Amino acid sequence: EKGGYDHFMLKEIYEQPSVIKDTYRGRLHANEGMIKMAGVEDNIEKFTNAHRILIIACGTSWHAGLVAEYIFEEFARIPVEVEYASEFRYRNPIITDKDVVIAISQSGETADTLAAIKLAKEKGAFVFGVCNVVGSSISRESHAGAYTHAGPEIGVASTKAFTTQITVLTMIALRLAKIKGTLSKTEYHTYLSELEMMPEKVQEALLTNEVTKEIASVYKNASNCLYLGRGYNFPVALEGALKLKEISYIHAEGYPAAEMKHGPIALIDEQMPVVVIAPKQGHYDKVVSNIQEIKSRSGKIIAVVTKGDEQVRALADHVIEIPESSDPLSPLLTTIPLQLLSYHIAVMRGCNVDQPRNLAKSVTVE
């Protein structure tokens, strides 16, 4: 049932090209320049009239929410706030009937997320669920929703749920952008085609398996690790760090790269591996300066770069090359080698990859 893979996690990492396609199939029509999602179409006015979108989730789903925040604001120009469900539900939040709440949950059973959407409904918000498990509590409790079609995710460390959540949320943002006219025609069509191409690019990003394995063998005994990214890739840094923590038990922190000098830079010495997400699109030059700062403090640099990159290669101890993409869609690619890196490190440390200690697949108690 692991399909020839040693662990469910690895199988699920490798399923990403096909499940991203499953997730957009029948919804994304790049040639016709259309996105059709029933749950969105049936409630289109709720979305277009929304004063803001509140995204509520936990863990990896919350990271997908952070990526979506940047995508929604950039594409559809709707203000977005992203909140941990556990914080939201206990702080008497301001919610009105002009708010659209998007709850993201792989399992659809996370107790805090479920309680948060019940609260949002009581306050009159429209609640849209993005769940993977069909018929789950959150999908039933939501007014409408869109499923991710990732298939069953068995590994406790979430991988394919994350990339399919981003796929669904990107499609919603593009749909709204079309109605609102917030992207130029060219931009809109380019993003649609690019999203359609993503399964192939993710497939290519999976070729980083070998290099991540080599890097894993060098750093498997590290006791700390820092992950840095900017913009769309800041949440990917958080997600990379979470993956490493939960399955390898190495302490890891994700930071927006520019925040490094506000504290974490003090941790950097020759013992500290720093994973830097530095694709060509985005804030490349800024990230290059951050890399120089790490280098001058003798930190070990593992950089995720766009294929053919030379500038970062000259500075980094290790480079991991991924295919080129636009900045907003890059998280679907940059996250792949980080999943593989944590997987290989965990395996080399003899950890129980699919069922890490103290963790449950769905957190049904608060």
Residue number with the smallest Cβ distance to ligand M6R: 59
Tell the smallest beta-carbon distance from residue 336 to ligand M6R (Å): 15
Nearest to 36 by CA among 185, 139, 190, 171: 171
Tell the smallest beta-carbon distance from residue 290 to ligand M6R (Å): 26
- Looking at beta carbons only, is 156 or 215 nearer to ligand M6R? 156
Tell the smallest beta-carbon distance from residue 59 to ligand M6R (Å): 2
DSSP classification of residue 143? S
- Looking at beta carbons only, is 150 or 319 nearer to ligand M6R? 150
Instruction: Report how far residue 207's alpha carbon sits from residue 333's, in angstroms, rounded to the nearest whole number.
Output: 11
**Chain Cα centroid distance, residue 81:** 16
Rg (CA), the chain: 20
Active-site residue, 286 included: no
Tell the smallest beta-carbon distance from residue 346 to ligand M6R (Å): 12
Q: Which of 121, 180, 280, 361 is catalytic?
A: 361
Helix 185-205, helix 16-24: angle, nearest 10: 150
Nearest to 93 by CA among 61, 131, 67, 55: 55
DSSP string over 21-35: HHHHTTTEETTTTEE
Residue ranges that bind ligand M6R, judged by CB under 6 A = 58-61, 105-107, 110, 113, 156-158, 242, 246, 359, 362-363
CB 268 within 8 A of CB 241: no
- Looking at beta carbons only, is 245 or 318 nearer to ligand M6R? 245
Helix, strand, coil percentages for the chain (3-state, nearest 5): 50, 15, 35
- Looking at beta carbons only, is 99 or 112 nearer to ligand M6R? 112
- Looking at beta carbons only, is 105 or 334 nearer to ligand M6R? 105
Tell the smallest beta-carbon distance from residue 352 to ligand M6R (Å): 13
Instruction: Report how far residue 116's alpha carbon sits from residue 135's, in angstroms, rounded to the nearest whole number.
Output: 18
Instruction: Report how far residue 147's alpha carbon sits from residue 165's, in angstroms, rounded to the nearest whole number.
Output: 9
Q: Which residues are catalytic?
A: 361
